[in-house]
Amino acid sequence: MSWITKWKSNKQHYSWKHIDRFCKSALSVWRGDGPDVIIGLSRGGWVPAVIAAQHFSVRELYSIGLYSYPDLGIEASDTMTQYQNLPINLKNINNRTVLIVDDISDKGKTFEHVVRQLKSIYKCNVKTMSVFIKEHTCYVPDYYYRIEPEEKWIVFPWERQ
């Protein structure tokens, strides 16, 4: 049995209510003013990004599309495939707080890539949030709900599994 098959056999399903509650809990420790701009990482970060936008009453919500898993049956690659760039109208984010949101920081490469890209272009205060992080992620977001074991396969309500 391959590691991915074993990993997927240890599934944990979460409902929409769970995700809503988990996101709000992760963001409840935010101090000071909320973010000015929120960027959801597609595809998994869209729903948590909308929850964050509603939580903070933020209207400026954008998305960036990228992945490091070319196929769910194949291990994550070291290269990032970005199929949706930073929006052109992000030019107004200098000296503002930007919250980058994803569903999980598994290996952490996606967060690292986007944070590095954003900071290389803009002078903004970058914060990050994910619902879950894996035990051995190389990137721990500023805000997250819970650490999950490496062997657990998280199934979000917007996924078909």
Q: 72 pLDDT exceeds 70?
A: no
Give the HSE-up count for residue 39: Cα atoms under 13 Å, Cβ half-sphere: 26
* pTM summary value: 0.85
* The token pair that represents 39 in the structure block: 């960027």
Q: What is the CA radius of gyration of the chain?
A: 15
Contact 56, 98 (CB under 8 A): no
| Domains in the chain: boundaries | 3-28+37-155
Give the pairing of strands 61-67 and 81-84.
antiparallel
Confidence label for 71 from pLDDT (cuts 50, 70 and 90): low
pLDDT in tens, 83-137: 677 776 676 788 999 999 999 999 898 899 899 988 988 899 999 999 999 999 9
The residue among 14, 36, 56, 38 whose CA lies nearest residue 145 is 14
Please give the class, per CATH, of domain 3-28+37-155: alpha beta
